[in-house]
Structure 1
Amino acid sequence: MRPAIRPATADDLPAVAALDEVCFGAEAWSTVSWAAEFDRLSEDRLLLVADEGDIVGYVVLLVPPVELDVVELLRIAVAPAGRRTGIGGQLMTAALAGCAGRTVLLEVAAGNESARGLYRAFGFAEISRRRGYYAGGEDAVIMRWREER
């Protein structure tokens, strides 16, 4: 069964925060941070969830209202049991669907080859690095996507 990709609602906050904890551990966003993201859904945030009866994935985008401004892919995660099943691709497809003609930026740990492979498959290209950005000295890779209308 393919999950439904849909906009998040306030009712999804506990499940998204719990999934973030599972996926990111010590690097997970706090419940307060997640509440702030949900509060901004009607302003400049797009939060989509993959729903199979339970939330099995999510993606968060900062989408400024001015079309010339850069969109930022802030976070994407898929539950461990749902990885390599296409859920991440479904989330990326849905997230990028409304970004035609805009530039989308993201950062990812240099050693996160599975995420970098997903991003490359969607046309993201490395444009820069932040040396030693993450704990332990790992580089952050900055990637860009732009699809013309």
Structure 2
Amino acid sequence: MALDSECFGTAAWSRASWVDEFDRVGVDRLVLVADEGAVVGYVVLLVPPVAEDPVDLTRIAVAPAERRTGIGAQLTTAALAAVPGRTVLLEVAEGNDHARRLYAVQGFVEISRRRGYYPGPQDALILSLEPKAGR
């Protein structure tokens, strides 16, 4: 929760939201954590039980001091490896250039946008990664 608050400020998930996420691990949630003596990053996936339904990458964060060290790429790669053969969707703020570059390297492409969704206003980009051989 502390890392979520540090990374997302007022948009951080509440304690009740985190409890719900962890209660659903093994049902329809997957939470991966980068731990280097303390939690320095995490990714949360919503994994529907029907294989044809897309997986949602609902949250990813890396501690500010650990950014641009490869932790985000490692978390994303591990998350995608955990859902082989599945379409994965995510949403990212148009102005989040670092995250957008990370997702582009992974093969995500923009499929839609929500205009003015984030403060500023800035658009929310909906990205998709379609399954391919070997993933």
**Taking structure 1 as the reference length, what is the TM-score of the superposition?**
0.86
- Give me the whole-angstrom Cα distance separating, in 1, the residues matched to 2:19 and 2:84: 28
| Match of residue 111, structure 2, among 109, 127, 147 | 127
Query: Secondary structure of 2:128's match?
Result: strand
Q: Name structure 2 gaps, 5 residues minimum.
A: none
Structure 1 residue identity aligned to 2:108: F
CA RMSD of aligned residues (A): 0.9
1:50 and 2:34 are equivalent in the alignment: yes
Q: In the alignment, what sits opposite 2:21?
A: 37
Question: 1:94-109 to 2 correspondence within 5 Å?
Answer: 94-109=78-93
Structure 1 residue ranges, 4+ long, deviating more than 3 angstroms after superposition: none
CA shift for structure 1 position 110: 0.5
- Aligned pair count reads 133
Residues 100 and 146, structure 1, Cα contact 8 Å, conserved in 2: no
- Give me the whole-angstrom Cα distance separating, in 1, the residues matched to 2:27 and 2:131: 23
- Give me the whole-angstrom Cα distance separating, in 2, the residues matched to 1:25 and 1:98: 28
Q: In the alignment, what sits opposite 1:116?
A: 100
Deviations 1:87-109 (A, max 9, x none): 00110110000222211000000
- Give me the whole-angstrom Cα distance separating, in 1, the residues matched to 2:105 and 2:48: 25
1:78 and 2:68 are equivalent in the alignment: no
- Give me the whole-angstrom Cα distance separating, in 2, the residues matched to 1:84 and 1:137: 26
**Taking structure 2 as the reference length, what is the TM-score of the superposition?**
0.95
Q: Name structure 1 gaps, 5 residues minimum.
A: 1-16
